[in-house]
Structure 1
Amino acid sequence: MNLISMDPISMDSSSIEPISFFSILLTGVATLAVTFAKDKGRTFVKNALEQIYQYSLNLIDTKIKNQKIKVFLKTTLLYYKQKPKKEVSTQNTSQATTQGDVLGFAGQNTGTLNITNTIYQTESESKTQSLTLIKASPYLGLNKFDEKDSAKFFGRDNWISKLTEHLEENNVLLLLGASGSGKSSLIRAGVIPKLRNNWRSLTNITVVPDENPFESLYISLTSHQYRQSESKIAKEVEEDTLVKVVKSLKQDEPWLIFIDQFEELFTRTQKSECDKFVASLVRLIQEQDSTVKIVITMRADFLDRFSTYPDLGNLHDQHSKMLTKMNHSELKSAITEPAHRNGVSFEEGLVQLITDDFNKQAGSLPLLQYTLNLLWENDNIEDRVLNTKTYEELGGVTGALNQQANKIYEELDEQEQKAAKQIFLTLVNHVDGKSTNRRAKKSIFEDGAVKENAVEKLIDKRLLVSQGEEGAATVEIAHEALLRSWTQLENWINENSQTIAICNRLNDDVEEWKKTNKDAEDLWSGSKLDQVLELRKNDTFNSVLGGFSKDANQFIDASVEWRDRQEREKEEQRQRELEQERKARQAANKANVITLIAAPMLTLLLFWAGMNWRAKQKAEISNLIESSKALLVSNQQFDTLISSLKSAKKLKKSRACHQIGINLV
């Protein structure tokens, strides 16, 4: 019976040595047995016949010396063991391949088998399955790769070399890329381990800006066993803080300061603090210390924020790299290598199916990791083969996360579902039409048993992640991929985008208010306060979104009290000013009345005084004249002259005063 054409392997009679009839027979029996067990789904039979299959492989290895025949027999066994629905060649089009019809043992045509490709894969599969089986999943789901995960990180070798070479020659690197392109993982699990290996020693200070980048720097330093007393300099919100930190703490060992998710400076950090941190970063870069490397990762869609910071614009022009999507070879490596290292292979055609689905999903690597992790957890790893059927049941790369998130949500009871919606919307930032992750203190969800239980369940199901010690723990959505791939969450965000933006701004200012010992200057007023007061009265907001937190309500109440107090003070000041104006008017009116009354009285008084004065002057002048006459008669001419002059002077003065009196009147 001709099982398969031997021509594709280009065998000739001289290359064929006598083959044990028993080997071929056992190969056929094992193939039929495995096929039967697979079709019937009888696990106990399948396990027993799996041993026959393995025994057949060992027998072929020991009895068959011709390598081509050996590979052919193994190919036949493996093909029927996996029974793919269709065969998809993963060879490049430039490679010459030859196809032959594959006939089942019952004689039916089961499809077309690419012999060249299958032989190559069979050798690879045999090598993989010869490794010790490691049952733990090598895929990280929505978690970011870290330095400890470098052995599981594949597909970015070229980029690791490129970025490492850049940092060997430069002190700064700005890595840009789309959300989900793997920027953080590339640095954490690729570049940092490579640099550490090259330099033999390295201190990595990783900072995620959050609400307070200086505080985040301090926490990172203390986590590297720098004492709190010497690290507290990092908390200073000053333009020279980073320079001072390096000069104070760095010893001979080189430093790599990795600022991850740089966009948080523009979405979470207060502008005044953002400005200081950017200035501090620029100051450190200008130091040009070759033993201090600075690596920054940022979503490319936030690059426009650099327009207000010329120094960041220069950084982009000189030291930026745009992370591109993986090519087919890189993607295949990222998919298959972690499984192969654990002794597990993929069903024929599945890798191509996964890559096709991945490319339809705009290349989100976290979705790929999540799907592969689900596939691993839901398939029978004892088989050492990840199957297409399981992959399709999970929804593939395009639907696995959405399907799984819906499943987790539906497993919650009605009250927990309501709480889950509130939790997710609290953990979303929505700025300028862009949705991003928002980190929050876990304690804000501890104001009720239902919400607290919901948070814990979502963390257990890995839709949320929590970090930090008890009392200071934070919680956030596992990855921004959820914001785009879970339809339910995407709808919630679209329906409540304006409310989310208001609440985010409120929560940020509440935290700032608490840091400044509840300084009245940080409270809200005007239209912002009016908006949250309207929201607080909104039944839908309170019932569906859970209203404001205890701290937020306290902040709002304090803002209302401060606003009312200021309005009272303004009103009191206005009343005081009005009273002063009234008194001034009254005083002016009194002066006018007095003037009106006093003017005619003064005129009369002056007229009367003038008349009396004139009469008196007239009498005095008459007396002087009479005296002059008497002196003249007595021949006292000199005295007469003097008396006459006095009379004339008085007369002149009298006329002048008379004229003044007339003018006054």
Structure 2
Amino acid sequence: MNQPSSLPHSPTAENGPEAPLAPGRLLYQLRKGHKPEPVSLQDLANSARYSKGYLSKIETGEKPLTIDVARACDRALNTGGTLTQRVQHEQADRLADGTSPADVCPYPGLASFEPDDAAWFFGRERATAKLISRLAGALGEGGLTVVVAPSGSGKSSLLKAGLVPALKNGALPAPGSRHWPVKIFTPGQQPLQTLLDVLHRTTGVSPDLARKALHRGDHVLGSLLRARRRLLHQPVPPSDGDDAVHGTVRPVLIIDQFEELFTQCGQDTQREEFLSALHALVSPAHRHGAAVGPAALVVLGIRADYYGHCLTHPRLAAHLESGHLPLAPMSPADLRAAVTEPAARAGLTLEPGLVDVILRDLGAHRTATGPDCTAGALPLLAHALRATWQQRTDNTLTVRGYDLTGGIHQAIEATAERVYTTLDPAAREAAPHLLLRLVHLDHDGRATRRRLPLHPLSDHSPDPAAAQTVVETFTRARLLTLDTDHVAIAHEALLTAWPRLNQWITDDRDGLRTRQQLADAADHWGSTDRDPDLLYRGTQLAMAEEWAERHPWTAVAQMKDYLLASRDREDQEQRREKRSVRLLRLAVVALSALLVVTVAATSSVFFMREYARAKETQTRLLKARIAEQAARRQAAEQEAQLAEALSDPPVSVRCPSVVPGESSNAGWCAAMGGKLLSGKVPKDLFTHRSK
């Protein structure tokens, strides 16, 4: 990639002075001289998101090169800002001559002011001075500097167009501070990796080495960066006539939209590591008994409604006690300056009464002593001013032109609707799919912006060509912002000020939440070497698969791999469960059979026992019956014998062993009818006694 160190010139005479190239001619030469190979006009059109015919007319001088087109071409050709500088120089030359280029708009619209827009940035001078003062104190004391304000209050513009130019102008009381590297970035989905990449570009410490140092402790990373900073301690080359000075090169890191740490980073571990790294950067140290200050200066910009999230992290909360810098609403005087000063700098004329109408609609007309601006209204103001500039008469911004835009509260809606309705049918169909992917729902269900890589965003749309048309058209209208390879909604005000987009969000809120949860789960799964315990299952998997089936173009490769792995694991578990059920059924059958056998055996034992008892009882009864029968037979025989004895004459015989007259007649014997009778015999049985 070529990065010209100076602007090319072309001779105006054979040996005469050289004049700067016209912007269009410069664009042509940069395109043709691009390394490693020239860039065709069609390729440039695809990368810069402007039509081939429009860029061709710029190169031939039929169309002027605007600042927006210059920035887009600088990104596409990686020129290091050469074209942007040429346009700015040309604008400055015209302003110095008392003329104004008709194509220069000093109002950024929904997009925030950039460092290159510092010439148009007014109304925040006091806030910039406070910010510089706080950073000056952090040179020795360390600590984070945190700018807190509601959405739409101008935090990003203050950091980019207020703080950065002040730092570049040497506002910090430190030798060579104007040469310190200044980097602006947002946390994104992988805040720690983003921070380590920025440190690598500013200090030369590799991300792997910095990560290893961080894992060994915050102080280890801080010591590593301070040691690297001492190596960078060297004379700073003179600039703008200044003498060379000796100073320590200390990076200044500006982390805008810090709330992304809570809205887009879904991993608690990475969030904590990121905060630990910040703590290491801003913690002061001592060497040989002397304070050496922090390894870097760090400034955060965060929405006020996420301030509570910061307080839940002890280290971050500790820095907020001393580094908290609330950004108050702009006063009516500041708002008036923000409207009038850029117009005057650009050579524009404001129709009498226009500023009063704008401030009235903004809500700042009721008092002249205190702020009375509705929170979050600055994007509405900037967009209304830009739309009014587009309706200008010559170089005059008029009340009629302002009314045509819809004013403060309808200008965004009017612009968005106009851009949307001018799209062809395919692009209109692609618009909701693309714009909703740029929306993020936080834990409380609030819609915020989401920054995504450009090419995956368009490639995973139902119609990639139509999606590119949407990006190009909305970017030209300043409703989207596009940098080298990322795209985002210009400001969160668009999410509520454009009813159509707001309705899309409402209708697809469940789908947005499912997509976000799936994306976070897939990222976490990928960062943990695809831990199978993190896969979806059951109802959660079914819901994610249903969403992916309805949005097949939305799921990126990581999400698709995650769903496939989840489905494979679910199928395996279901197969294992089926096998377990079959084994359980077999076990139940076996146990049932065993139970039958056991019951049968138990019943058999019980039956045999009862049978034995019955047999024994029967035997006992039989014996008793036999004995009874025997007794009856014996009694019958005795009775028969007795009857026979009574029928014969009585004969008595005295037995010698018997004593007559005893109560017991045992031992008596009597012969009756020639038979012998023994046993008890009554006394009166005998009629004769032997003498």
Select the residue among 251, 269, 277 that pairs with 1:280.
Answer: 277
Report the CA distance between 1:345 and its aligned residue.
2.3
Report what 1:365 is aligned to.
378
1:112-131 equivalence runs, <5 A: 131=98
Distance 1:575 1:314, change over 3 A: farther
How much has 1:306 moved relative to structure 2? Answer: 2.7
Residues 380 and 512 (structure 1), Cα distance of their counterparts in 2 relative to 1, 3 Å cut: farther
Match of 2:38 in 1: none
Q: Which runs of 5+ in 2 are unaligned?
A: 1-94, 172-176, 233-247, 286-292, 364-372, 606-691
Indicate the residue corresponding to 1:268 in structure 2. Answer: 264
Contact 1:138 1:152 in 2 (8 A): yes
In the comparison of the two structures, how many residue pairs are matched? 461
The structure having more radius of gyration, on CA atoms, is: 2
Give TM-score, length-normalised by structure 2: 0.60
User: TM-score, normalised on structure 1?
Assistant: 0.62
Question: Relative to structure 1, is the Cα distance of residues 351 and 565 closer, same or farther in structure 2, using a 3 angstrom cutoff?
Answer: same
| Structure 1 position 428, deviation (Å) | 0.5
Cα distance change, pair 509–476 in 1 and its aligned pair in 2 (3 A):
farther
Q: Could you say which residue in structure 1 is the equivalent of 2:471?
A: 455
Residues 231 and 245, structure 1, Cα contact 8 Å, conserved in 2: no
Residue 298 (structure 1) aligned with residue 302 (structure 2)? yes
- Aligned 8 A contact 2:438 2:450 in 1: yes
Aligned: 1:405 with 2:416: yes
Structure 1 CA distance for aligned equivalents of residues 579 and 224 of structure 2: 51
CA distance in 1, matches of 2:96, 2:357: 22
* Code of the aligned partner of 1:273: Q
- Which aligned pairs between 1:511-526 and structure 2 lie closer than 5 A? 511-514=523-526, 518-526=530-538
C-alpha displacement of 1:340: 0.6
Specify whether residues 523 and 466 from structure 1 end up closer, same or farther in structure 2 by C-alpha distance, changes over 3 A only.
Answer: farther
For 1:526 and 1:465, how far apart are their aligned partners in 2? 40
Q: CA deviation at 1:298?
A: 0.6
Return the structure number with greater helix share. 1
Shift in Å, 1:493 = 1.4
Q: Match for residue 3 of structure 2?
A: none
Quick one: structure 1 residues 234 and 205, their matched pair in 2 at CA, closer, same or farther if it must change by over 3 Å?
farther
Structure 2 residue 148 is the aligned partner of structure 1 residue 176: yes
Deviations 1:230-260 (A, max 9, x none): 3443566846386366336433212222221
How high is the sequence identity, in percent, across the aligned residues?
28
Q: 2:257 is aligned with what amino acid?
A: Q
**Residue type matched to 2:195 in 1?**
L
The amino acid that maps onto 2:411 is: A
Q: 1:526 to 1:440 in 2, by over 3 A?
A: farther
Q: Distance in 1 between matches of 2:223 and 2:591?
A: 61
Pick aligned residue for 1:529 from 532, 541, 545: 541
Q: How does 1:47-196 map to 2 (within 5 A)?
A: 131-135=98-102, 136-170=104-138, 171=142, 172-196=144-168
Listed as ranges, the matches of 1:12-23 within 5 Å are none
CA offsets 1:479-531 (integer angstroms, 9 cap, x no match): 21211211211122122222211112212333444556655344322332232
Aligned to 1:324: 328
1:206 corresponds in structure 2 to 184
Q: Which amino acid aligns with 1:132?
A: T
Deviations 1:315-343 (A, max 9, x none): 22322121111001111111111111122
Distance in 2, Cα, partners of 1:297 & 1:398: 26
The verdict on how the C-alpha distance between 1:368 and 1:182 changes in structure 2, with shifts beyond 3 A counting, is same
For the pair 1:466 / 2:482, whether they are aligned, the reply is yes
Distance (Å, rounded) in 2 between the aligned partners of 1:379 and 1:314: 51
State the Cα distance separating 1:536 from its structure 2 match.
Answer: 4.6
Provide the rounded CA distance (Å) in 2 between the counterparts of 1:247 and 1:591. 82
> Quick one: distance in 1 between partners of 2:210 and 2:473?
36
> Is there any run of 5+ residues in structure 1 with no aligned partner, and where?
1-127, 599-665
Are 1:220 and 2:198 matched, yes or no? yes
- Aligned-residue RMSD, C-alpha: 3.5
Q: Which residue of 2 aligns with 1:256?
A: 252
Q: 1 CA distance for matches of 2:210 and 2:586?
A: 55
Structure 2 CA distance for partners of 1:406 and 1:591, relative to 1, 3 Å: same
Deviation at 1:596, TM superposition (A): 12
Matched to 1:531, the amino acid is: M
Distance (Å, rounded) in 2 between the aligned partners of 1:406 and 1:576: 64
Q: 1:592 to 1:309 in 2, by over 3 A?
A: same
Distance of aligned partners of 1:166 and 1:559 in 2 relative to their CA distance in 1, 3 Å threshold: same
Q: 2:447 aligns with which of 403, 411, 435?
A: 435
